Amino acid sequence: MTTPLNLKELSKQEVRFTAGHRLCAGCGAPIVVKMVLLAACDYPVVVATSTGCLEVSSCISTYTAWKVPWIHSAFENAAATLSGIESMYKALKKRGKIDKDIKFIALCGDGGTYDIGFQSLSGAMERGHDMLYICYDNGAYMNTGIQRSSATPTFADTTTCPAGSVIPGKPQERKDLTRIMAAHNLPYVAQASPSHWPDLMKKVRKALETPGPKFMNIFAPCNRGWRSRLDDAILLSRLAVDTCYWPLYEVENGVTRVTVKPKEKKPIVEFLKPQGRFRHLFEPGREKMIEQIQQMIDRNWERLLKEEEMTIFKEKEEREDK
């Protein structure tokens, strides 16, 4: 029986990522991990993580915050490692040595997903391994010193693209990895945020109940790298959704659905202002940079809505043909 997604019932479940880890106060990653594992509370799970903040801070020497089977390999190959574990599980289950329905989850940062680990991720998805790969996206290589990644937003200040007289932060637009993974023709791809926990947990459950390779991209604020308040993780997550910087949607068997639509789409400045990494954009003479970011957000949001509209139109045509 599936545990209901309400706070009363979820509070009775075992917390499988415990206190005592060394992640920074206010970090978004442990919030995401706890939600994911609570959503998966009806299943035994095996978790793999790549090198990154989550890995180095959750298992130090003989101490670990994980209360599930967990494995860490290299920065670039968490997906390959987990696909090997999943293949071994299928072989043992076929021989009758395992009778449990075990789920396999990768939890990796954007550096180990968008960049260094992309070939491993793409290969595991293309081969069709029955696993859920989750990226906790904090928009930079935070563990090694806040270097830019391809997930870093345009004009953000990082240690490898510092805002100054030469460049105004990262000049490139961030990679849209969720759409790239959808282009792999996976049965389930989704984008989620910890500010909307029922939506996040429903998507995790849907992914785990879907056979084959799945991918989720989950927003995970980093106050250290973003130069924001320690208690702003959920506030910034909500602003990311409300400004449509981080739209919440899913692509299920090629069908796109926006799962949360803001009642009032807020201007992107409300998301940028609380973050010190964008402080330089509010200096005199840089108004056009904020306008440029707003235009990118608007363009991507309208494109997503059109994709959903086309999906609805096609479904209507199919029903009429029948």
Query: Tens-of-pLDDT digits for all 322 residues of the chain?
Result: 578 888 888 889 999 999 889 999 999 999 999 999 999 999 999 999 999 999 999 999 889 999 999 999 899 999 999 999 999 999 999 999 999 999 999 999 999 999 999 999 999 999 999 999 999 999 999 999 999 999 999 999 999 999 998 999 999 999 999 999 999 999 999 999 999 999 999 999 999 999 999 999 999 999 999 999 999 999 999 999 999 999 999 999 999 999 999 999 999 999 999 999 999 999 999 999 999 999 999 999 999 999 999 988 777 777 777 6
Report angle CA 144, 145, 147 to the nearest 5 degrees.
95
Distance CA 217, CA 251 (A): 12
Give this prediction's pTM: 0.96
Q: Tell me the helix, strand and coil percentages in the chain, rounded to 5.
A: 40, 15, 40
Which residue type is seen at 25?
A: A
Closest by CA position to 257, among listed 199, 317, 196: 199
What pLDDT, in 10s, does the model give residues 172-219? 999 999 999 999 999 999 999 999 999 999 999 999 999 999 999 999
Nearest-Å Rg of the Cα atoms of the chain is 20
CATH code, 13-321: 3.40.50.970
What single-letter DSSP state applies at residue 112?
Answer: I
Contact 226, 204 (CB under 8 A): no
**Which residue, chain included where needed, has tokens 């494995």?**
71
The two tokens of residue 236 are 């910034």
**pLDDT value of position 192:** 98
The domains of the chain are located at: 13-321
pLDDT at 257: 96
CA-to-CA distance for 35 and 233, rounded, in angstroms? Answer: 14
